[in-house]
């Protein structure tokens, strides 16, 4: 969730406003987590479909959006997972995607790539 989104939620009373020892406005992390959980429940499936063959669904918050001409890059934070999607700028507009909005990344892989950990200089971990 972006700083601007948190500021707006403090201003509209969604989050209680606290001040730390340095005089900064802070939000209780538990309130933020509860809000994120609540935003992720009861969401419709992507495209309004009631069923999908994609089993890997990540409900999250759009953390970054870069639109350049006909293409866009959307970053979604879903718990500890950061997902990045490239899509048309038109799709971003049609879906109403913006930083701070809740979205669902639906993944169906037809190929899995296997990687190895980076090895040390001697070829071992």
State the DSSP string of 63-103.
Answer: EEEEEETTEEEEEEEETTEEEEEEEEHHHHHHHT--TT-EE
CATH number of the domain residue 65 falls in = 2.40.50.100
Asked, for residue 47, whether it belongs to a domain, the answer is no
Asked, for residue 122, whether it belongs to a domain, the answer is no
Range of the domain at 8: 1-39
Pick from 57, 51, 48: nearest CA to 107: 57
Tokens of 90: 């038109």
pLDDT digits (tens, 9 = 90+) for 95-112: 999 998 889 998 877 776
pLDDT digits (tens, 9 = 90+) for 24-61: 888 887 787 677 767 655 555 445 544 666 678 888 88
């Amino acid at each position: 969730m972006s700083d601007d989104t948190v500021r707006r939620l403090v201003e509209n009373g969604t989050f209680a406003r606290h001040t730390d020892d340095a005089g900064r406005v802070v939000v209780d992390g538990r309130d933020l987590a509860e809000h994120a959980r609540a935003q992720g429940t009861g969401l419709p499936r992507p495209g309004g479909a009631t069923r999908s063959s994609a089993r890997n669904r990540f409900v999250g918050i759009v953390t970054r959006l870069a639109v350049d001409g006909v293409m866009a890059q959307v970053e979604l934070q879903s718990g500890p997972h950061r997902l990045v999607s490239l899509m048309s700028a038109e799709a971003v507009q049609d879906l109403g995607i913006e930083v701070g909005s809740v979205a669902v990344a639906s993944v169906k892989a037809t190929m899995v790539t296997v990687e190895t950990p980076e090895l040390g200089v001697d070829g071992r971990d």
